[in-house]
Amino acid sequence: MLKRFLFLAIGAVAIGLAVFWWLTIPATIAATALPIHTPDIANGLTTFNAGGCSSCHATPAQPDRTRLGGGLPITSPFGTFYVPNISPDPNAGIGRWTEAEFVTALAKGTSPSGQHYFPAFPYTTYQHTKVEDIRDLFGYLKTLPTVASKAPDHDVPFPFNVRRNLGVWKLLFLDGKPLVADASKSAPWNRGAYLVNALGHCAECHSPRNVLGGIVESQRFAGGLNPEGEGWVPNITQKGLAEWSEKDIAYLLETGQTPDGDTVGGSMARVIRNTSQLSAEDRTAMAVYLKSLPAVDGPVRPKKKG
């Protein structure tokens, strides 16, 4: 009887592991799934700026935002992640990547080696980016300077460092759904929705997180604790921006200045370095969309001690 029980238990564990392994297979996009495409480098630059690539990937402590040597530390409750080099360097960067591997990274969160990326890389938002824009971005990145420095390895403790487990995380938080234009809204509104919800990945910082590190959808854009652990990220729904006009929001995205004359700092200052390079039309589109967000109550901000 005991032997039979052990046999059944071992069989159940084996089946469970097989199911886990199958469910957590890193998804990829084959090169054959991509039609012939000539990169639009100008659109690649727009995508680069809208996507905020240099905010994280530019080598710290140097002024050139096109030198994408990585190395920026991103702290979190799950460990410290170091942003990788995405310059065209063939050894330290993405110089040997294929276009399909690059599209896979942004749309599926899977590396060229077939491993899950940690979601400190916001592929849960980048998955909504148009494939043509991703391909144009790849074309633009190949025109940038090579940087030979390699970012440090992530400092993530067990069990969070087991990348296969991220396959389960993706089942919960990576929906794979494209953004669909709202025919009832204006062209600027739809452009703004795309820039904010796909390329700009604004919700990644401006939304509270649950215990698994996923965005709390019911409080999307409602602000909360800075994902990096220090400070408070503001609510950018009408709960927080009720007194702001569309012009105020667009002006902030251009200059970093708030309606009361203050200036943004921290990681948002790096964001402004990118949005300031967008066209006035794109900044206005983002403002139109953000101004349309209904008021949502965010987490209660803790009182300052002392």
Q: How many other CB atoms are found less than 10 A from the CB of residue 16?
A: 10
- 183 or 5: which carries more pLDDT confidence? 183
Quickly state the pLDDT bin for 105 (edges 50, 70, 90).
Answer: very high
Is the backbone of residue 166 left (phi > 0), alpha (psi -120 to 50) or beta? alpha
Distance (Å, whole) CA 136 – CA 48: 9
Q: Label the pairing between strands 73-76 and 224-225.
A: unpaired
Could you tell me which residues come within 8 angstroms of residue 296 by beta carbon, excluding any fewer than 6 positions away?
Answer: 218, 219, 220, 221, 222, 235, 237, 239
Tell me, what's the pLDDT at 298? 80
Tell me, what's the pLDDT at 3? 65
pLDDT, tens digit, for every residue of 207-245? 998 888 888 889 999 988 776 656 788 899 999 999 999
Report whether pLDDT(300) > 90.
no
Tell me, what's the pLDDT at 75? 83
- Whats the size of the chain, residue-wise? 306
As given in the structure block, the two tokens for residue 23 are 């469910």
Share of the chain above pLDDT 70, in %: 90
Best mean pLDDT range from 7-21, 66-80, 107-121:
107-121
**Contact by Cβ (8 Å): 237, 296:** yes
Tell me, what's the pLDDT at 290? 96
Q: How far is CA 51 from CA 30, 54, 101, 126, in A?
A: 23, 9, 18, 8
Tell me, what's the pLDDT at 90? 94
Distance (Å, whole) CA 92 – CA 150: 5
